[in-house]
Amino acid sequence: MSPKVTTELLKQLRQVMKSPKYVQEPVQAYIVPSGDAHQSEYIAPCDCRRAFISGFDGSAGTAIVTEQHAAMWTDGRYFLQAAHQMDNNWTLMKMGLKDTPTQEDWLVSVLPEGSKVGVDPFIIPADQWKTMSKALRSAGHDLVPVKENLIDTIWTDCPQRPCKPLITLGLSYTGVSWRDKIIALRSKMAERNVLWFVVTALDEVAWLFNLRGSDVEYNPVFFAYAVIGMNTIRLFIDGDRMMDPAVRQHLQLDSTLEPEFKIQVVPYGSILSELQAVAAGLSPKEKVWLSDKASYALTEAIPKAYRYLTPYTPICIAKAVKNASETEGMRRAHIKDAVALCELFNWLEKEVPKGTVTEIIAADKAEEFRSQQKDFVELSFATISSTGPNGAIIHYKPVPETNRTLSVNEIYLLDSGAQYKDGTTDVTRTMHFGTPSAYEKECFTYVLKGHIAVSAAIFPNGTKGHLLDSFARSALWDCGLDYLHGTGHGVGSFLNVHEGPCGISYKTFADEPLEAGMILSDEPGYYEDGSFGIRIENVVLVIPAETKYNFKNRGSLTFEPLTLVPIQTKMIDVNLLTQKECNWVNDYHQKCREVIGAELEKQGRHEALRWLIQETEPLIRVQ
Amino acid sequence: MSPKVTTELLKQLRQVMKSPKYVQEPVQAYIVPSGDAHQSEYIAPCDCRRAFISGFDGSAGTAIVTEQHAAMWTDGRYFLQAAHQMDNNWTLMKMGLKDTPTQEDWLVSVLPEGSKVGVDPFIIPADQWKTMSKALRSAGHDLVPVKENLIDTIWTDCPQRPCKPLITLGLSYTGVSWRDKIIALRSKMAERNVLWFVVTALDEVAWLFNLRGSDVEYNPVFFAYAVIGMNTIRLFIDGDRMMDPAVRQHLQLDSTLEPEFKIQVVPYGSILSELQAVAAGLSPKEKVWLSDKASYALTEAIPKAYRYLTPYTPICIAKAVKNASETEGMRRAHIKDAVALCELFNWLEKEVPKGTVTEIIAADKAEEFRSQQKDFVELSFATISSTGPNGAIIHYKPVPETNRTLSVNEIYLLDSGAQYKDGTTDVTRTMHFGTPSAYEKECFTYVLKGHIAVSAAIFPNGTKGHLLDSFARSALWDCGLDYLHGTGHGVGSFLNVHEGPCGISYKTFADEPLEAGMILSDEPGYYEDGSFGIRIENVVLVIPAETKYNFKNRGSLTFEPLTLVPIQTKMIDVNLLTQKECNWVNDYHQKCREVIGAELEKQGRHEALRWLIQETEPLIRVQ
């Protein structure tokens, strides 16, 4: 990778930062955050403005350009990548290191007195605006919204905003009609005395209307907003996709409906003016509900006294708790996904010794097997296919420059997943196609112990996921080892592979309590820089647990693995497992054999079935 | 307990709330928080204003009195007690329950438009003021500081503020002279570019000057503030205790010293005016460092631009990491404390079957045995001596009305500790003087497993205590059980038995990372309302751990128990323990036998020694 040459671009940006055509007053600094107007984690090419201006295209990073400087803040996952991709116009700000200034502190240290700092108010979340604005103001500067995105003014070949056809999901997939979701949402609004709800996150719009799209790679979402009143529904969306008869019928656009369920379709770009109109019509005590992560532009459209902000919206919380239809869909998706992986691993076991399989070939092969499965839509994220030292790069994605050939001498880590119409998958397996060393087996076994400790944990109803994180680390900690990422994230149902409001992490974040029906990943790991990476990841469903007692009648929860792919027993040092852990592995493999075996049989995939049976032989622990 | 009759008092309070003698403008509500001007957890009788006005004397609670209402917010520990102690002028606001309004919401719901809410600015911490003031302002009301405490104006027989003699601690106790502590503090101030540091917490003043007092029961502190400049030291303290030659010599008040170590003794009451004078002399960029929990009055004395606020002061953090002299002192104190408890438990085992020992007698006996030990000063908190159902009341303190007789049929829980000149102790043991039921043993064993899981945990340097909390609960959770309190708190060195900035809790709080030398409690429990309570508590020292590997060179930590009192093996269902847990108990008991046995021998306490030997017989686990 050679760095992007940005001298000319920065010059142009600095010009528009002073141009009366775009800014009321010149801005001395311009902030280019990662996100889009919906605060999405994955963004469309037209929203990759930070990558355009800097060259750095990792998933997290904020660029700030002043008249003299250009600086990029990113986290530990991306220090190397950012350093490679940016030319020396840029200073890399390594977040998490002690001496790295915050964006605010840095701005204060470099700006001339009384500076204006510009940002696109649609891209910056309201909570970040608040913090940044306060810090700048207290140092005598001003954060100002710049209506026109300044990057867009210099990005001559900026791709168009995608506007792809929609997929409608029937009741067999969603379990609840959009109409019933609106009713439930309005009842939550009534509880809080709120008259309007603004849906800003793309996956929340998709979930609410039981629609899916493909505007953003890996995430089956489409660009839209919605504003739900007690008697009105407005969907802000562009393109002729609303002409599709299937969509019209799904949304009952041409039916005579009670007026409160009549959907008004409005252009995507009119959200701000429509919200301003809503705000203008409010009487005292009438409130508008928004996520506190909504953009500054939309938040600001509602006068403060009328705003009702929460960290998680009722849609986010309802979406996280999967109903029976969604859970069944997720089960089906995970069975299909396991079939594809059995095929892949069987194929790899034969092909790797020949020395012809690279990381990219393996990733492509995984996609090929997945795409053979029913209702396959696309991958759910860029496949992490990494062997040897590449496995230690936690968010690795093979590219020609780094592409390594799989061999019988190195550990191979595959973290991959897919979108099926009935569910989303995300699974990591770590394999050795030769003979692992005792040390590799030891590390793998600690990671496995952590994986089991979370998966088999029993905990009271209402427990927050972050309280389970240390269970995943305990076996590693005992030997002085650890891993520097969280243990699990929420997973959508044919939606984003990362979703709130639950998770399992040592980082304190305002996660919502776990409840039955939530779906998360369980993915501890161990990484040795320059040598190898190990991660074992299942998607797990929160289910009620039967316990001997029931303190304060709270009830208990535990997890059921939805992922049913063998965990390579060759990598396990069985003497490091307790009998309970050994039983867990054997029970898990028994279930893989039964459930996936039946499906492989049904699909006539006999060779993969033989592989599955061989891989699920019970472990025997010598006392 | 009959409730306090408060009708007349409330009438008087409502009068002064309108009296121009005390308030510039009438206040429609007056807030009476729990604390004193130092935000102490334990307070002197003269500061028990909330108890005076309401009758409720639990350790936590906030009273708010309006023209029409009187309401008390307290937490789950005190729902019953508060309901018993308050008459029906008062509404109990049960914090933590879903439907309980916050103080702010309640005020907004009951106050007439444009109300003034008064509070003593010395009693309310600045951070609480901020939250409360913001909420009130956004609803059109005002929080106003009322200079004279309105409770004091109607409290005719208010006790005097204590002003007891001071104890000086030499280097053999403290390890570091006050002079060196000042030097270290000034270097922290220089690091942060701060010119002044205001010491507001009583234990921080005591620690800084290597002085102790007895102004507050159980906490060896004295009423004082200090203001440390780069060249000046001001100690705000009242009474003739500064006339004591030992104190004068300790502080070198009469020596010729470099001016920057010359202590100026100033009256306690002049802190505000002195701080205002300091503030008036500040130039731009000169900062004053305060805890963000300091009172609103003192915080407000420093203009915002000059304030440097942190949740934990450098003194709080330095105080938490005990040096070798303090650690050795803590060890000595715990040995003496164990001797006293061996005597007590031996005595109880003989006396309980006679049916003559009540909870109060047992508590008194514990104090008697402790007071026989060298350098005993006082108890470190009110002894929790509870049998049968009283054991389920987590913060129980026996009083004549509830006093229960110990018997061979009930579980007995004793949570007690003392202040010795060399250290502070806090230990809980749960005993049965007859034959425990299988269920009682089962519950006890789960609690023990949790205790061991924390005590034996190995974790990376820099881990925060809250990440260890779930280890203490895991065995209970597996069976559907739990306990509704945190697992551990910091412990002072001949100082407060509860101190920051570390702890072990499921509640997310901004705890500082654990480091070697910190001292905490490890005290999981299980409580069955109406039946029994179980808690096993040791004070433990954070020490470096030897591990097989050392990820990123971070190093690992673990705990060493300082408390060396046998854990009743009769209560253990040994078959529920793993071999590792069984070994832990046996190793622990071996150490108790060696260390405490030697001390009992030395003190000629032969009967207690026989008891210790019998109680520390190794457990044998049948495979």
Q: How far apart are CA B423 and CA B333, in angstroms?
A: 5
Q: Could you tell me if B327 and B541 are in contact, meaning their C-beta atoms sit under 8 angstroms apart?
A: yes
We report the CATH number of the domain holding residue A248 as 3.40.350.10
Name the residue in chain A with its Cα closest to that of B135.
A305
pLDDT of B509 strictly over 80:
no
pTM of the predicted structure, to 2 decimals: 0.94
Number of domains in chain B: 3
pLDDT of B436 strictly over 90:
yes
pLDDT band of residue B541 (cuts 50, 70, 90) is very high
Closest approach of chain A CAs to the CA of B185, in angstroms? Answer: 21
Interface touch A474/B457, C-beta < 8 Å: yes
The answer as to whether B416 is a domain residue is yes
Name the residue in chain A with its Cα closest to that of B138.
A305
Same domain, yes or no: A280 and A328:
no
Q: Mean pLDDT over residues B189-211, rounded?
A: 96
Interface touch B506/A556, C-beta < 8 Å: no
Q: What is the average pLDDT value for chain A, to the nearest integer? A: 96
Which residues does B contribute to its contact with A (CB < 8 Å)?
Answer: 138, 305, 457-460, 466-471, 473-474, 476-482, 506, 508, 547-552, 554, 556, 578
> Which is nearest to A309 in space by CA: A198, A234, A202?
A198
Q: Of the candidates B458, B476, B550, which has its C-beta nearest A478's C-beta?
A: B458
Interface touch B460/A482, C-beta < 8 Å: yes
Closest approach of chain B CAs to the CA of A24, in angstroms? Answer: 30
pLDDT for the residue numbered A582: 98
pLDDT for the residue numbered B566: 98
State pLDDT tens for residues B76-107: 888 988 999 999 999 999 998 888 999 999 99
Same domain, yes or no: A253 and A334:
no
Same domain, yes or no: A88 and A47:
yes
The answer as to whether A190 is a domain residue is yes
Q: How far apart are CA B433 and CA B438, in angstroms?
A: 15
pLDDT for the residue numbered B623: 63
Q: Mean pLDDT over residues A382-402, rounded?
A: 95
The answer as to whether B1 is a domain residue is no
Q: Mean pLDDT over residues A455-466, rounded?
A: 96
Q: How far apart are CA B418 and CA A612, in angstroms?
A: 63
Interface touch A471/B470, C-beta < 8 Å: yes
Closest approach of chain B CAs to the CA of A146, in angstroms? Answer: 29
Interface touch A477/B457, C-beta < 8 Å: yes
Interface touch A479/B506, C-beta < 8 Å: no
pLDDT of A346 strictly over 90:
yes
Same domain, yes or no: B489 and B357:
yes
Interface touch A479/B547, C-beta < 8 Å: yes
Closest approach of chain B CAs to the CA of A224, in angstroms? Answer: 33
* Residues 6 or more apart whose Cβ sits within 8 Å of residue B489: B497, B498, B499, B503, B504, B520, B521
The 3-state secondary structure of B152-209 reads HHHCCCCCCCCCCCCEECCHHHHCCCHHHHHHHHHHHHHHCCCCEEEECCHHHHHHHH
Q: Could you tell me if A265 and A241 are in contact, meaning their C-beta atoms sit under 8 angstroms apart?
A: no
The answer as to whether B75 is a domain residue is yes
pLDDT band of residue A474 (cuts 50, 70, 90) is very high
- Fill in the amino acid letter for B410: E
Q: Could you tell me if B237 and B269 are in contact, meaning their C-beta atoms sit under 8 angstroms apart?
A: no
Chain B residues within an 8 Å CB radius of A508: 466, 508
Interface touch A478/B460, C-beta < 8 Å: no
Interface touch B506/A474, C-beta < 8 Å: no
Cβ atoms within 10 A of the Cβ of A530, count? 7
Same domain, yes or no: B370 and B253:
no
Same domain, yes or no: B488 and B459:
yes
Chain B residues within an 8 Å CB radius of A468: 470
Q: How far apart are CA A95 and CA A93, in angstroms?
A: 6
* Residues 6 or more apart whose Cβ sits within 8 Å of residue B177: B171, B210
pLDDT of A623 strictly over 70:
no
End residue of a domain, out of A153, A178, A206: A153
Q: What percent of chain B has pLDDT over 90?
A: 93
Name the residue in chain A with its Cα closest to that of B526.
A551
pLDDT of A52 strictly over 90:
yes
pLDDT for the residue numbered A3: 94
Q: How far apart are CA B493 and CA B41, in angstroms?
A: 17
For strand A411-416 and strand A427-432, is the pairing parallel, antiparallel, or unpaired? antiparallel
Same domain, yes or no: A260 and A379:
no
Task: Concatenate the DSSP letters of all residues of A37-89 into one string.
Answer: TT--SS--GGG-HHHHHHS--SSS-EEEEESS-EEEEE-GGGHHHHHHHB-TT
pLDDT for the residue numbered B114: 95
State pLDDT tens for residues B312-359: 999 999 999 999 999 999 999 999 999 999 999 999 999 999 999 999
Helix (H) or strand (E) holding B529: none
For strand B29-32 and strand B116-119, is the pairing parallel, antiparallel, or unpaired? parallel
pLDDT of A1 strictly over 80:
no
Same domain, yes or no: A432 and A531:
yes
The answer as to whether A620 is a domain residue is no
Name the residue in chain A with its Cα closest to that of B461.
A480
Chain B residues within an 8 Å CB radius of A477: 457-460, 556
Same domain, yes or no: B388 and B278:
no
Which residues does A contribute to its contact with B (CB < 8 Å)?
Answer: 138, 305, 457-460, 466-471, 474, 476-482, 506, 508, 545, 547-552, 554, 556, 578
Bridge partners of B428? B415, B537
pLDDT for the residue numbered B619: 97
The answer as to whether A270 is a domain residue is yes
Say if residue A501 is preceded by a cis peptide, omega within 30 of 0: yes
The answer as to whether B140 is a domain residue is yes
Same domain, yes or no: A314 and A331:
no
**B493's tokens:** 């060195």
Same domain, yes or no: A418 and A331:
yes
The answer as to whether A1 is a domain residue is no
Task: Concatenate the DSSP letters of all residues of B493-512 into one string.
Answer: SSS-SSEEEEEE-SS---PP
Q: Measured over all CA atoms, what is the biggest interatomic distance in chain B, rounded to whole angstroms?
A: 79
Q: How far apart are CA B300 and CA B126, in angstroms?
A: 8
| CA-to-CA separations, B467 to A349, A455, B226, B510, in angstroms, rounded | 40, 18, 35, 12
> Which is nearest to B222 in space by CA: B196, B199, B245?
B199
Q: What are the φ and ψ backbone dihedral angles of A455, each rounded to 5 degrees?
A: -60, -35
**What is the spatial order of strands in the sheet that A233-237 belongs to?**
A263-266, A233-237, A224-229, A196-199, A288-291, A307-310
Q: Mean pLDDT over residues B27-47, rounded?
A: 96
Same domain, yes or no: A373 and A432:
yes
For residue A580, what are the domain limits? 321-615
pLDDT of A257 strictly over 90:
no
Q: Of the candidates A468, A548, A578, which has its C-beta nearest B470's C-beta?
A: A468
The 3-state secondary structure of A348-401 reads HHHHHHHCCCEHHHHHHHHHHHHHCCCCEEEECCCCEEEEHHHHHCCCCCCCCC
Name the residue in chain B with its Cα closest to that of A478.
B458
pLDDT band of residue B1 (cuts 50, 70, 90) is low
pLDDT for the residue numbered B622: 76
> Which is nearest to B586 in space by CA: B456, B460, B436, B431?
B456
Q: What percent of chain A has pLDDT over 90?
A: 93
Q: How far apart are CA A417 and CA A427, in angstroms?
A: 6
Q: A439's torsion region: left (phi>0), alpha (psi -120 to 50) or beta? A: alpha
Q: What end-to-end distance do the CA atoms of chain A give, in Å?
A: 52
We report the CATH number of the domain holding residue A516 as 3.90.230.10
**A589's tokens:** 């493999």
Interface touch B470/A467, C-beta < 8 Å: yes
| CA-to-CA separations, B153 to A555, A580, B13, B19, B157, in angstroms, rounded | 51, 66, 8, 11, 10
Burial class for B211, CB neighbours closer than 10 Å (0-12, 13-18, 19+): buried
Q: Could you tell me if B513 and B462 are in contact, meaning their C-beta atoms sit under 8 angstroms apart?
A: yes
pLDDT for the residue numbered A86: 97
Interface touch A470/B474, C-beta < 8 Å: no
End residue of a domain, out of B319, B341, B365: B319
Name the residue in chain A with its Cα closest to that of B470.
A467
Name the residue in chain A with its Cα closest to that of B483.
A551
End residue of a domain, out of A102, A131, A153: A153
